[in-house]
A and B are shown apart, each in its own frame.
Chain A
Amino acid sequence: MKLQLEKFGKTLISRELGSEAFKAFQTTLREISADEELEIDFSGVLTLSPSWADEFLSPLLNKLDDKLILLPSDNLSVHATLRILQEANKRSFKIK
């Protein structure tokens, strides 16, 4: 399954909204079968902050482990945010 992250907004900044987005995604998440991969597509996202991403991508990584795949992005804020989350969580995202 592929998730277009921009469906949650183009400017993904606050912790509060990241947490809301994660809650809203729960119903979809339950539909994913155990061996299915979830691809995150960042295209269309203008700014991604570590606070928003920590509420959304960090719990997804904990839940899906190597079934979570991040698609490449040339957005500087996406790069910076993924770098700090990997450092904070002491684990790496699988990037396609």
Chain B
Amino acid sequence: MEEKLLTISQAAEYLGVSLNTLRRWDESRKLVAIKKDGGTHRYYREKDLEIFSSDLMKFASGWMQDGVEFPGTFYCATSSIFNARLTKMEYVLMQKPGFEKLYSLIVLIAGEIGDNSFAHNLGKWPDTAGIFFGYDMEKRIIVLADRGLGILVTLRRALPDLPSHVKAVEVAFTEFISGRAPEKRGNGLKLVREVVTDQLIDLFYTSGDAEVRMQGTDKTFRVTRGQRIVRGCLAKIEF
């Protein structure tokens, strides 16, 4: 049986991007369209769109680093949109066998990281407001990213002497910060660290040139200096 093809309008709706974006992606060969019998109309296989939209880390890091467009279904412009999408993810996750109890800790981790982006960048976003929030429950992966100020800049409001991205991320994940700080700081990342340490959940987190990798059997918390400096924050949660 011949596979059903989607028109460019249907594909645009599927991915949440404009027709022009799809035409541009076709010309740059980022997402190549099918043209029937040498015609000019663009068509797409649903399977190809599914594969294309599954590379969450590529979209998130491309957007963070270079402002590269990504499917709009992953974009949360405001914290209320993020909350609504997080609730939807929670519902899907709690139906998953083996996650009947664990779901709440995974939602807590994603919720804290996503909410941090909004809480610390409100009214101060350098360019695009909002976050990337994508998940694939089959592959058991959640990716969150923002193009905000990053941990060092936001934490320096409370602790002006912080010397580096590495130190800032270390403080954010390990220390309770005084309530006298000019903005309220949560204890969310401290709890994220504890939960990831105790559970079969992996975390990759980066802000500036600081990186945290708590993966597999080595859950020792340490912040290292990476090769590149990224805008804002990016987190990958695997479970």
Contacts and interface: CB of A to CB of B under 8 A. Distances in A.
Contacts of B90: 11, 46-47
B115, B118, B187 interface centre (most CB from chain A within 10 Å): B187
The 6 closest A-B pairs by CB, nearest first: A77-B104, A13-B111, A47-B107, A51-B186, A84-B191, A77-B108
B107 A50 contact: no
Interface of B (DSSP majority class):
helix
Contacts of A50: 108, 112, 186-188, 191
Interface residues of A, number: 26
A49 B115 contact: yes
Interface stretch (A14-22, A23-31, A32-40, A64-72): A14-22
A73 to B, nearest CB: 10
Given A11-B86, A13-B83, A47 B104 contact: yes
Interface of A (DSSP majority class):
helix
B7 interface: no
B195 A13 contact: no
Given A51-B188, A80-B194, A87-B176, A46 B104 contact: yes
A77 B119 CA distance: 21
23 contacts: A11-B83, A11-B86, A11-B111, A13-B86, A13-B111, A14-B79, A14-B83, A14-B111, A15-B115, A16-B118, A46-B103, A46-B107, A47-B90, A47-B107, A49-B111, A51-B119, A54-B186, A74-B101, A76-B102, A77-B107, A78-B104, A81-B191, A85-B187
